[in-house]
Amino acid sequence: MSAGSKHHQGQCLCGAVRYRVAGGLRPVIACHCSQCRRATGNYMTATAAMRETLTIEGAQNITWFTSSDTARRGFCKICGSNLFWEGKDRPYTSITAGSLDGPTGLTLDRHIYVADKGDYYEIADGVAQSQEFEGYDPMPPK
């Protein structure tokens, strides 16, 4: 499937949560903030889909954790896979890039919160970097 494809799918590690996107996906963003690093064990890579294009099977197996006043994160309550991030008042759901079935056709577009990155790695891939997400909040295509 290519990034321009209007159908993507993925799942958690155990398969208890499966999802389909009947629309476009935003390019991948790598978030280096301390919350994403704690939730994933490194930095988070995620794409996003408009909420109305996302269908989740096994939604009863998702645990939603309110990680801040402005966002929540969705995990499989059986295997612990980190799957989703939803920002308050944002019309899309971020989806962990690694949970998508491949090939995705997606590309890494930006590293964000780079000042918060772990001291055990360097960002040397030549992809654009910024300290924040605000001001860079691209909407996924419908």
Query: In this model, does residue 34 exceed pLDDT 90?
Result: yes
Q: What is the pTM of this model?
A: 0.91
CB contact at 8 A, 135 and 119: no
Q: Where are the domains of the chain?
A: 8-130
User: What is the structure's pLDDT at 137?
Assistant: 67
CB contact at 8 A, 11 and 99: yes
Q: Which amino acid, residue 92?
A: Y
Give the distance from CA 83 to its chain's centroid.
7
- Condensed to tens digits (0 to 9), the pLDDT of residues 51-102 reads 999 999 999 999 999 999 999 999 999 999 999 999 998 999 999 999 999 9
The answer to which of 43-47, 70-74, 112-116, 136-140 has the lowest mean pLDDT is 136-140
User: What is the structure's pLDDT at 139?
Assistant: 75
What whole-number percentage of the chain has pLDDT above 70?
94
User: What is the structure's pLDDT at 140?
Assistant: 81
Q: Which fold has domain 8-130?
A: 2.170.150
User: What is the structure's pLDDT at 28?
Assistant: 96
Question: What average pLDDT does this structure show over 111-135?
Answer: 92
Question: What average pLDDT does this structure show over 29-41?
Answer: 95
CB contact at 8 A, 76 and 17: yes
User: What is the structure's pLDDT at 7?
Assistant: 86
Q: Which two tokens stand for residue 117?
A: 């990155």
Q: Is 88 exposed, middle or buried (0-12, 13-18, 19+ CB in 10 A)?
A: exposed
Strand order of the sheet with strand 54-57?
A: 8-11, 18-21, 54-57
